[in-house]
Amino acid sequence: LLGIMFYFSLLKYSVNGYPYQCSINDLANDTLNIYTGAPVLECPGYIDIISVNVIEDANYLTIKISVKDTIPESSESNIYYYFLLDRDNDPKNNCNDPPFNFCDTFYTIRIKNTVTVSKSIWNPWGWSDESTNAKSIFESSNTISIKIPKNEIGLNSNPKELPWRVITEIEYMCGDFAPNSGTAILKRYFYEKNIVITIPVEVPAIYIDGIEYKPSNGKVEISLAPGEYEFFVPQEIPISKHVKLIFIEWSDGVKDNRRRVKITEEGFNVTCIYEKYFYVKVYSPIGNTTPPEGWYPEDEKLTIGVVENQINVTKNTRYMFSFWNGSWGSNNFDFKKHLQTITLKDSIEINATWIKYHFISVISRYDEPRGGGWYIENSTAEISVKSILIFDNGTKVVFKKWGGDISVTKNNFTLTVDKPYTIIAEWDRFFQTSFRFWTPDREQVLPEFISIAGGEGKLQLTSYTNIWLKEGVYRLIDVAYKGGNVKPKEETIFNIDGSKTFDIECRIYDISVKVFDIFGFMVPGISVSTVLPNGEVVKGSGTGLVGLENLPCGTYTVRISILFFYTKTMSIELYSDREIVLTIPISALLIALFLGIIGGGYYYSRRRCVKENIAFKFLGNELLKELSNIPAISRKLEELDKKYGEIFLKYLDTKARKKVLEEQLSRAKKHRDESISFYENAARRARETGRHMSAYYAEKALQYTIKRYNKIISKLSFELENIGRELSEVMGEMNNINAQRKIVIDELLMRIDRARELLKKIYDINPVCIKCGDIQKLYNDVDEILMQIMEEISRLDGKVKSGEDELRRLKNRLKEIRDEINRVEGEIEKSREIVERVFSDMIGGEASDYIEICGVRINLTGRIEEFFDRYDAFRRELGKTIRSYWRNKKLLGKLTTEKISAQNKIEAFQEYLNNLKSDLNRLRASATNVKNILDDINESYRICKLKLNRCREKVKRRLKEEKGRLKEYIRELNRLRNEEIYRFRESIDGLKKRIEGYRRSFINLRSRIEDFKSDPGYPDEFLNLEGVKKLLNRLDEFLGEIDEFIDKSGKAGLIPECEDEVK
C-alpha cells in the first residue's frame, strides 16, 4: 500500500512536471554582521533563521523562511528578508561583493511601516531595480514566504539546478545566512512532453496559459505535461517604427492567433506564420501623391511619387520637382524621379522637395539682353546688355537704365530672384554731329570751345567733328574764340534727330593798318598790337600795311608804333572788318631807323646766355620738386599699409563672424527639424496608445518649438544678412585702399622717371652758359633729399624688424592657444569615454527617443526607466563628468574664438608687413635712382670745375703776359709823357714871349688912345683904326689857341704837371 501511494505521488509530479521541494535547516543563535562576518550575540529572534523551504509549482516559486521568534508586521528599523538566486547557474556574471555574492538576482521583503517586495538585477555596472509581481505572505507568526512568478526569473528555460541562498538583516545591526556558507541547490525534475513552436525571430514571446516563453533562434522549445493549453501570439509585432509583422495563420491552418491546443503523448510542433508589412508615407506640400499613407505588405508592387513634376502657380511662377528626401531603406528607389513603380522591400517615408521658379522677362529694343529665363527662387540672375551700340548710319545708343519692375542704372547687375520680374532696358539715342565755323569771309576757324544747351542741361564741346550728341533740340550759347563769344547775333537752334553737319558763321573780323609819311610813301618798320579778350597780345609788323586777322568781335585798344620813337593808341569797336590809315613826319622815321639798328645790336650782344640760365634754374627746381616728395610718398604709403592692415583684419573678423553665424544657423535648422520630428513622433505614439493628454502636451511643445526656433532662425538670418552687407562694405574699403596704394606707387615711379627726364634736359643745355656754383647748389639740394630718403629707409627698416618681432610673438601665442585647445579636447574626450562606458549597451541603433550626454547620443527607445536607474547608480560620477564636460566645452569655445582672432591678427599683420617690406624695397630702389642722379650731377660738377680750373690757369697766364706788356707800355708812356711835357714847357715859354710882345703893343696902343682922348684933333691916319682892329683880331685868335692848348693838355694829363705855367 505504501508503495502504491509512493507511486501515485511520483506519478502526480511526473504528470504535472513539478520538482520536489528543497529544505534546509539552520542553527539557532548564529547571528552575525553580514558585511564583516563578526558574531552578534544580542540580535532579535525574528532575524535568526531556523529553516528555509523552497517549493516550485506550476506558476510560482515559493520560499518559506522560518525564524526563531515572532515576525513583527511593522518596525521602526528596516527589517530585510533576502532571497538570492543564480538564475542561469553561471557564476561568471554574478556579483562578487559580499553579502550578495554567488547570485545575479535577489528579492527583498522589507518590513517597516508596511511590507514591500522588490526585485534587483545585477549588471556589469551594479545593481538595478526591476518591477516585480512577487508578493509576500505571513504563513505563521514566525514564518514569512515570498511567491515569485516563474516567468519573472525564466525558470522554465533555466538549468535543472537552481543555486539559492537566504539572508536576513535588521538595518545596521545584525543578520543571518541560510546556508551559512555557499548556496543551496534546488534540483528540478521534468516529465513534460516536448513542445516546439517556430516563430519569426522578431516575435518576442509566445504565451501558454498566460505564461511568457521567449524564443531562442526563432524557436520556443519547452516541455509540458499532456493536457489542454491556451496558446497565444501577438496579432501584430512592431519591429521598428515603420516595420511590423502581422499574424496570418498557424502552420496547421488555424487562422486565430489565440487558440486551444491539446498536448498528447506525441508532443506538439507548429509554426507561426507572419507577413512583414512596411509603413509607406509619401508627402508633398503641393501636388497629388500616391499611394495613400499606410501599411503595405512586403514585395507588393507600388507606384510611388507625385503625379505631376511641374506645377504652375501663375504664368511666371511654377514649382518643379527636385528630389525626394527622407528614408526608403533597401528599396530600389531613384530619389530623382517624381513617379516610379517599385517592389516594396522596406519602409518608405519620403518628402518631396520642390524648387520654386520665377520667370525673368528682359526686354530691350536694342542688343540681345542676357539674363532672362526661369530662375530658382532666391537665386541670382546676371542681367546685362551692352552699354553702347554703334551703328553704321552714324547712330549710337547708350544704355540709360533698367525700368519695369526694377530701377537700376548699371547695364549689368545681379538680381536676387524673389518674385517674377519684367525688366525693360531704356536707351538714349545719340547721333554723329559735326560743326563747322566760318568767318564772314568764308574762312574756316576753330574755336576753343562751344556751349550748347538742351534737355540734359548745358554741354561744353572742344571737338567738333563726328561728336556724339543725344537726340533732342539744342540752343547755341557760346562760341569761345580767343577769349570772346563770337556766336551769331541771331539765336541758333540745332535739331539733333540724325547724323548732321551744321555750319555756323561767327562774328570774327579783321583790322588793317596803313601808315604813310608826309610824302605819301608807306613807312617801313611798323608794329601794330592789341590785346585779345583772353589776355593774349596780338602783334603785326610790316612796311606800310599791317593786318590783324580773325579777331573776335568787341572793343579793342590798338597800339601803332614805329620802332621806339613814334606811338599812337586808339580804341575801336570791332563788329565788322575795320581799316585804320595814319600819316607820320619823315624825320621821326629816319631817327627811328638809326637808333633801331644801333640798339638792336647792343641788345643782342648783352642777352646771349640768359635763356640757358633761366632754363637751368627752372629744370633744377622741377627736379628738386619731383625728388623732394619721395619721403612724403613713402610716409603716405606706410599710412595706407597700416590702414589696409586694419581693414584686412576687420575683413577677416567679419568673415569669421559670418562663418560662425552660418554654422549656428545650420545647427539651429538641424535642431529644429530634430525637435519637430521628436515631438511629432511623441504626439503620434501618445495618440496611438490613447494617452490624449500626453499627445496634447506634445503638440503644445511642438508649437512652442517651431515658434522658438523660427524666431532664432529669423534673428540669425537677419544678422547674417547684416554681416553680408558689412563684409561687402569692408571689401569695398579694401579695394579703395588698394587703388590708392597703386596710385601712390605709380606716382613714386612716375616722379623718378620725370626726374631722370629733367636731368636729361639739363644735360641738353649749353654747358658754357651754366655756372659751376649752380651745379654745386643743385648737387647739395639733391644730396639733402637723398639723406632724407635714407633716414626714411632706416625708419621703415626699424618698423619691419619690430613688426617681425611682433609677428613671432603672435605666432607663439597662437601655438599656446592650440596646445590649450588640444588639452581641453582631450578632457572632453575623456568625459565622452566615461559616458560611453556607463551606457555602452545603449549607444547606437535606430532611436526614436534619445538623449545626449557629453556629446554621446544614448538610445532611450523602450529603455527610459533603465536609463534613469543606471543614471542614479552612477549619479555622482556622471554629475562630475557632465560639469567637467560643459566647463571644458565653454572653455573650448572661448579658446576657439581666441584662436580664430589670433589667426586673423597674424594674417592681417603678415599682409601689413609684406606691404611694408614692398614699400621699403621700392624706397631703396628710389634711393638708388636718386643716388645715380646725384652721381650724374656730381660728374657734371667735376667736369665743370675741371674746365673752370683750366680756364683760370689760362687767364692767369694771359694776365701775367699782359702785365709784362703793360709795364712796357707804362715805361714808354712815361717817356713820351716826359717828352711831351718838355715840348709843352717850350711852348709855354714861346707863349710868354708872345704875351710880353702883346703886352707892349697894348701899352703903346693904350698910350696913343689916351693921347687921342686928350687931343682928338689928331689926323685919321695917325689913329689907324684898321690897325687896331687887326691887332684885336689877332689877339682873339691867340686866346683861342690858348684855350685849345689847355684843352688838349688836360686830356693828355699834362696840366697837373704844369698847372702854374698854364695859369
| Beta bridge partner(s), residue 351 | 283, 325
The domain segmentation of the chain, as residue ranges, is 20-187, 193-278, 284-360, 365-505, 508-586, 605-770, 796-975, 978-1062
- Predicted confidence (pLDDT) per residue in 508-544, tens digit: 999 998 888 766 777 777 889 998 888 888 888 887 7
Asked if residue 807 lies in contact with residue 917, where contact means CB atoms within 8 angstroms, the answer is no
Q: Which amino acid is at 995?
A: I
C-alpha torsion sign, points 501, 505, 507, 509: positive
Residue 28: the pLDDT is 87
Q: Is 141 helix (H, G, I), strand (E, B) or coil?
A: coil
N residues, the chain: 1063
Residue 205, all three cell numbers: 514571446
Predicted local confidence at residue 367, as pLDDT: 87
Q: Each residue of 364-416: pLDDT tens digit?
A: 999 889 999 999 998 889 999 998 898 888 899 999 999 999 999 999 999 99
pLDDT at 345: 92
Model pLDDT, residue 191: 46
DSSP 8-state secondary structure symbol assigned to residue 32: B
pLDDT digits (tens, 9 = 90+) for 169-189: 998 789 999 998 888 887 654
CATH architecture of structural domain 605-770? Orthogonal Bundle (1.10)
Q: What pTM was computed for the model?
A: 0.37
Mean pLDDT calculated for residue range 612-630: 80
The helix (run of H) or strand (run of E) holding residue 1020 is helix 1020-1023
pLDDT of residue 12: 35
pLDDT surpassing 90 at residue 488: yes
Within 10 Å of residue 540's Cβ, how many Cβ atoms?
18
Beta bridge partners of 500: 433
Owner of C-alpha cell 585702399: 737
- With a cut of 50, say whether residue 632 has pLDDT above it: yes
617 or 250, higher pLDDT: 250
The average pLDDT across 1018-1026 equals 52
Per the model's pLDDT, the better-predicted residue between 772 and 563 turns out to be: 772
Say whether pLDDT at 1021 is over 60: no
Which pLDDT score, from 0 to 100, does residue 16 have?
37
Does the CA dihedral 173-178-180-184 come out positive or negative? Answer: negative
pLDDT, tens digit (0-9, with 9 covering 90-100), for 281-297: 999 999 899 999 999 99
Tens of pLDDT along 125-165? 888 889 999 999 999 999 999 999 888 887 655 456 788 99
Q: What is the DSSP string of 583-634?
A: E--HHHHHHHHHHHHHHHHHHHHH-SSHHHHHHHHHHHHHHHHHHHTHHHHH
Closest by Cα among 337, 340, 341, 303 to 321: 337
Summarised one tens digit per residue, pLDDT across range 305-360 is 999 999 998 999 999 998 898 888 889 998 889 999 999 999 999 999 999 999 99
Check pLDDT > 60 for residue 586.
no
Q: How far is CA 732 from the centre of its chain?
A: 9
Place of cell 532664432: 712
- pLDDT above 90 (res 1030): no
Asked if domains 193-278 and 605-770 share a fold, the reply is no
CA-angle at 138, arms to 135 and 142, nearest 5°? 135
Higher-scoring residue by pLDDT: 366, 869: 366
Residue 490: left (phi > 0), alpha (psi -120 to 50), or beta? Answer: beta
Q: For residue 1017, name the pLDDT band (cuts at 50, 70, 90).
A: low
Q: Is pLDDT at 570 greater than 80 in this prediction?
A: yes
- pLDDT digit string (tens) for 977-986? 777 777 777 7
pLDDT at 106 over 90: yes
| Residue 594 banded pLDDT, cuts 50, 70, 90 | very low
Q: Position 1049: which residue type?
A: S
CA-nearest of 381, 341, 342 to 358 is 381
- The residue behind cell 559670418 is 658
What are the tens digits of pLDDT across the range 706-723?
Answer: 888 888 888 888 888 888
For the stretch 417-475, pLDDT in tens is: 999 999 999 999 999 999 999 999 888 889 989 999 987 788 889 888 888 888 899 99
Cα(495)–Cα(124) distance, integer angstroms: 102
pLDDT digits (tens, 9 = 90+) for 28-61: 888 998 888 888 888 999 999 999 999 877 778 8
Evaluate if residue 757 carries a pLDDT over 70. Answer: yes
- What's residue 692's pLDDT? 64
Mean pLDDT in residue range 785-790 = 86
User: CA 512, CA 1000: separation in Å to the nearest integer?
Assistant: 79
C-alpha cell at 87: 538564475
Q: How far apart are CA 833 and CA 177, in angstroms?
A: 40
Give the residue with greater pLDDT, 1060 vs 672: 672
What are the residues facing 571 on neighbouring strands? Answer: 557
pLDDT tens across 157-168, in order?
545 678 899 999
Q: Tell me, what DSSP letter sits at residue 91? A: G
Distances (CA, A) of 665 to 486, 653, 714: 71, 18, 9
- Record: fold of 193-278: Immunoglobulin-like (2.60.40)
DSSP symbols for 162-210: EEEEEEEEETTTEEEEESSSS-EEEE----PEEEEEE--TT---EEETT
**Lowest mean per-residue pLDDT among 105-119, 598-612, 1036-1050:** 598-612
Band (pLDDT 50/70/90 cuts) for residue 1 is very low
CA quadruple 5, 10, 14, 18: dihedral sign: positive
Are 347 and 278 in contact, with CB atoms under 8 Å apart?
A: yes
pLDDT over 80 at 565, yes or no: no
The CATH code belonging to domain 508-586 is: 2.60.40.1120
What average pLDDT is seen over the chain?
Answer: 82
Burial (CB count within 10 angstroms: exposed 0-12, middle 13-18, buried 19+), residue 9:
exposed
Phi then psi dihedrals of residue 23, to 5 deg: -130, 145
Q: Which range, of 8-17, 592-601, 852-861, averages the lowest pLDDT?
A: 8-17
Distance CA 311, CA 982 (A): 144
| C-alpha to C-alpha distances, 508 to 258, 443, 481, 504, 570, nearest whole angstrom | 125, 10, 9, 11, 20
Handedness of CA 436, 441, 447, 450 (dihedral sign): negative
d(CA 544, CA 513): 8
Instruction: Give the whole-number percent of the chain exceeding pLDDT 90.
Output: 26
Whether 625 shows a pLDDT value over 60: the answer reads yes
Other beta carbons within 10 angstroms of residue 633's beta carbon come to: 19
Query: 3-class SS at 38?
Result: coil
* Residue type (1 letter), 680: E
- The band of 606, judged by pLDDT with boundaries at 50, 70 and 90, is very low
Q: Which three cell numbers stand for residue 37?
A: 562576518
The predicted structure's pLDDT at residue 764: 76
pLDDT of residue 193: 67
- Do residues 506 and 437 make contact, with C-beta atoms less than 8 angstroms apart? yes
Q: Calculate ∠ Cα 444-447-448, nearest 5°.
A: 155
Question: Taking each helix axis from N to C terminus, what angle separates 610-628 and 692-764, rounded to the nearest 10 degrees?
Answer: 160
Q: Are 721 and 635 in contact (CB under 8 A)?
A: no
Instruction: Name the pairing type of β-strands 268-283 and 193-198.
Output: parallel
Contact yes or no for 1035/998 (Cβ under 8 A): yes
Q: How confident is the model at residue 110 (pLDDT cuts 50, 70, 90)?
A: very high
143-170 core/surface letters (b: 16 or more CB in 10 A; e: else)? bbbbbbbbbbbebbebeeebbbbbbbbb
- Going along 746-880, which residue ranges are E strands? 850-853, 856-859
